[in-house]
Structure 1
Amino acid sequence: MPFQIPRGTQDVLPGETEKWQHVEQVVRSLCGRYGYEEIRTPIFEHTELFLRGVGDTTDIVQKEMYTFEDKGGRALTLRPEGTAPVARAFVEHKLYGSPNQPVKLYYTGPMFRYERPESGRFRQFVQFGVEVLGSSDPAVDAEVIALAMHIYNELGLQHIRLVINSLGDLDSRRAHREALVRHFESRIHELCEDCQARLQTNPLRILDCKKDRGHELMATAPSILDYLNDESRAYFEKVKHYLAVLDIPFVVDSRLVRGLDYYNHTTFEIMSDLEGFGAGATLCGGGRYNGLVQEIGGPETPGIGFALSIERLLAALEAEGGELPVRRGLDCYVVAVGEQAKTEAVRLVYELRRAGLRVDQDYLGRKMKAQLKAADRLGASFVVMIGDEELESGAATVKDMASGEQMKVPFGELAHVLAKRTGREE
């Protein structure tokens, strides 16, 4: 029986990888414009990092982590998210001592969560995210949100909606927590087992429950916005003010709590509003986490960031019928007839590649007609033909596959002529 791919994973084949490369190129370019630098962390970390950094009451820690014991008896976990590893690197390498503050970082790479696979959601998925560490300026919150929106706008997504909320500071959250316990405790038995367990450990997360979202207790639950103290309220007003200055439309949703324990003050999600894709489906989420660095052993450091799934981004683009400007095909395909011509073709292909052209040749010993068909299938803009006549004259026959025009070009001038005709001339 042939091997099959594990459930919840995918192979990204040629024809699709170009889309991924384009998205990655766009996000890297935009991060550069905003002054963010790339960081790369290990695919696995010590399990304790996620227990403390993500929160041991979260679904990620309780249900979704891929955890294993290595040969030294250490508990390790495939990273389920990117913020805690970035914060760990920030502390371990003392980036808080850098003269360039705040520290603005971005990352991209595979994450792992054991959850039910569905469209655009996998157990191994590629996440892109940014983190800003070292500033509690509300303008940074607006910048992070603006960058996330800019990415979707740049890639052509149309049906998106920004939703924001504030979880307030520690005092505001404490007051809201007490109100939530009072609200739910007399009827907590009506909710699912997860909600019952969360009542005393993290009642805010009851509002994030997918099973009981339609229960009347959810609709009447106390709003965090009613428990914001003056400082938290002023902070949130500043964030909204800056978003308005940037002309970025948003909706305030007091039920938006996010799924990780380290959030405070600003939280946000970018959702798809496209019917059929799953209106209200979350594409991107993030928020402020001023206590995370301190929680994992670093100095008190404010932070904010977001993360998005590349898979869900591409699924949303496909659902909208959007086309990415990806280019496939060769600049040139070299057709050789005869052994001497084949030798010249090997040399010529290498020379043209070194000149910056996308070039290939036949490696199956096919006849000229079959080679020309291969060139057409591969989307070659030009075909360079070499036979006895071309070897004798020292000039190749070059065919423009779009117009059918043919011309003779000396071997020594091929790189220059083709680079000019394909627009790859520097």
Structure 2
Amino acid sequence: MNYQKIKGTPDFLPEDTKKWQDIENKAKVVLSRYQFKEIRTPIFEQFELFARGVGETSDIVSKEMYDFVDKGKRHIALRPEGTAGVVRSFVENKLYGPEHHKPLKFYYIAPMFRYERPQKGRMRQFHQLGVEVFGSSNPATDVETMALAMDLFRTFGLDNLKLVINSLGSTESRKKYRKALIEYLEPFADELSKDSKERLHKNPLRVLDSKDRNDQQIVQGAPSILDYLDETSKAHFETVKDYLNMLGIDYTIDSNMVRGLDYYNDTIFEIMTEDPEFGSNTTVCAGGRYDGLVEEVGGPATPGFGFGAGLERLVMLLENAGYNFTEVDALDAFIVTIGEAADKEAAKLAYVLRSAGMNIEREFMNRKPAKQFKTADKLDAEYVFTLGENEVENRTVNVKKLENGKELTADLSKLYSQDKKAYLEEIKAQLK
């Protein structure tokens, strides 16, 4: 049988993974600068965790969840997003206790799963870099986390991005706004798209987020959520704007932006790319404040803030920008072998050079020396170590630096000694 991968799932071959490793390595440097620590949670959780945390009326739960009943009759779901699982871990491991310094800052780089039509930059198995901050209701947390998101993209030299912000206010102010929005939308009920008709009384804020063009025209005249913020939420949002201005971070306000998850309150944001390859205003990163989610999942009232960025889209953005990906596993040396005795010696030499911290590849196919040198060149090796019968007999190895063509004869016994690292530095210095 001819097996093929499931539609919407990726194979990352070595030429792909080196790009991902480069992105992840550079992202981790920025995350460390902001003092975020890595957390890893299970790929699958109880279905109810996502239904309760993400919201039963959200598209993720109602349409896109990969869920199943396992052999123990448990209703299980593959994680469609990262926040709910991290919140569950925060509660289950009692990380809210006084012994833990607040705020707690976590990040994850992990696969997520959603059953939706695969398309450019959107897969059924996709990967997110996400961060979560627990324990701080300070607007400075919102701004610092948004600044981190912008810094992550700027690390790669991306500048065709814009930060869009909004406030959803408190639960109480959102109830008042919800009522006003329903009153505005009801006269248009027959004209709304099928999805928006379903959401009208269940979750009317999602109508503002509709991708249907007719819906978008209808909501243009809708009341603004910013007019319904209570004094506390209004002050919080003003402080967020003040801090962004102080840091010189440009932003725009979109009062119709609501995000697709039910757990958000107060500040929400999206980072959009204006890269023509993606069409205008494609979201590459999004998040916001979720002060009620920890309590919803069974923990004590704890404020939270976070975001998720799709790594597939980031890779595509960087490829479109002609980004020069760093070679994370650059080859230090290739060992050329001529004859059986050299083949055996190469096994030891490769082992010793690797133990000295070098990235090594060697010949295994017994090809002619010219082809081996061509391979070393193709693999962009810095040095070539050549072993033939004479070298093995004399306990030497020829070392050549490919960049400048300089070469010398090295002593194998010194390479195999306790001082091999110092001897290797000597060799490199002579071949400069």
The equivalent residue for 1:184 is 185
Deviation string 1:254-301 (CA, Å, 9 cap, x unpaired) is 111100000000000000012232220000000000111111111111
Q: State percent identity of aligned pairs.
A: 49
Within 5 Å, which residues of 2 pair with 1:197-346? 197-212=198-213, 215-327=216-328, 329-346=330-347
The equivalent residue for 1:29 is 29
1:369 Cα offset (Å): 2.1
Distance 1:254 1:18, change over 3 A: same
Partner SS, residue 14 of structure 2: coil
User: Are the equivalent residues in 2 in contact too, given 1:272–1:282 (CA < 8 A)?
Assistant: yes
How far apart, in 1, do the equivalents of 2:427 and 2:62 lie? 59
1:359 Cα offset (Å): 0.4
Letter in 1 for 2:109: T
Distance 1:308 1:352, change over 3 A: same
How far apart, in 2, do the equivalents of 1:320 and 1:308 lie? 18
Distance 1:57 1:320, change over 3 A: same
1:401 Cα offset (Å): 1.3
User: Are the equivalent residues in 1 in contact too, given 2:386–2:397 (CA < 8 A)?
Assistant: yes
Partner SS, residue 237 of structure 1: helix
Partner SS, residue 276 of structure 2: coil
RMSD: 1.6
1:326 Cα offset (Å): 2.9
User: Are the equivalent residues in 2 in contact too, given 1:107–1:128 (CA < 8 A)?
Assistant: yes
The equivalent residue for 1:148 is 149
1:394 Cα offset (Å): 2.1
How far apart, in 2, do the equivalents of 1:288 and 1:300 lie? 13
The equivalent residue for 1:59 is 59
How far apart, in 2, do the equivalents of 1:275 and 1:244 lie? 28
User: Are the equivalent residues in 2 in contact too, given 1:157–1:322 (CA < 8 A)?
Assistant: no
The equivalent residue for 2:19 is 19
Letter in 1 for 2:22: H
1:320 Cα offset (Å): 2.0
The equivalent residue for 2:393 is 392
User: Are the equivalent residues in 2 in contact too, given 1:277–1:319 (CA < 8 A)?
Assistant: no
How far apart, in 1, do the equivalents of 2:102 and 2:159 lie? 34
How far apart, in 1, do the equivalents of 2:40 and 2:241 lie? 32
Distance 1:420 1:110, change over 3 A: farther
Letter in 1 for 2:321: E
1:31 Cα offset (Å): 1.4
How far apart, in 2, do the equivalents of 1:278 and 1:228 lie? 33
Distance 1:221 1:418, change over 3 A: farther
How far apart, in 1, do the equivalents of 2:321 and 2:402 lie? 33
The question of 1:107 aligning with 2:108 is answered yes
Partner SS, residue 157 of structure 1: coil
User: Are the equivalent residues in 2 in contact too, given 1:382–1:398 (CA < 8 A)?
Assistant: yes
How far apart, in 1, do the equivalents of 2:190 and 2:425 lie? 72
Partner SS, residue 50 of structure 1: helix
Distance 1:150 1:384, change over 3 A: same
1:413 Cα offset (Å): 4.3
The question of 1:119 aligning with 2:147 is answered no
Distance 1:36 1:213, change over 3 A: farther
Deviation string 1:62-86 (CA, Å, 9 cap, x unpaired) is 0000001110100000000000000
1:28 Cα offset (Å): 1.5
How far apart, in 1, do the equivalents of 2:90 and 2:76 lie? 20
How far apart, in 2, do the equivalents of 1:264 and 1:421 lie? 62
TM-score, with length taken from structure 1: 0.96
TM-score, with length taken from structure 2: 0.95
Letter in 1 for 2:58: T
1:421 Cα offset (Å): 6.8
The equivalent residue for 1:77 is 77
How far apart, in 2, do the equivalents of 1:283 and 1:421 lie? 48
Partner SS, residue 162 of structure 2: strand
Letter in 1 for 2:15: G
The question of 1:352 aligning with 2:373 is answered no
1:38 Cα offset (Å): 0.9
The question of 1:43 aligning with 2:67 is answered no
Partner SS, residue 68 of structure 2: strand
Deviation string 1:336-391 (CA, Å, 9 cap, x unpaired) is 11221111110000000111111011112222222222222222111100112212
How far apart, in 2, do the equivalents of 1:349 and 1:324 lie? 27
Partner SS, residue 398 of structure 2: strand
User: Are the equivalent residues in 2 in contact too, given 1:166–1:264 (CA < 8 A)?
Assistant: yes
How far apart, in 1, do the equivalents of 2:245 and 2:424 lie? 50
Partner SS, residue 348 of structure 2: helix
How far apart, in 2, do the equivalents of 1:124 and 1:242 lie? 37
User: Are the equivalent residues in 1 in contact too, given 2:168–2:258 (CA < 8 A)?
Assistant: yes
Moved more, 337-346 or 37-46: 337-346
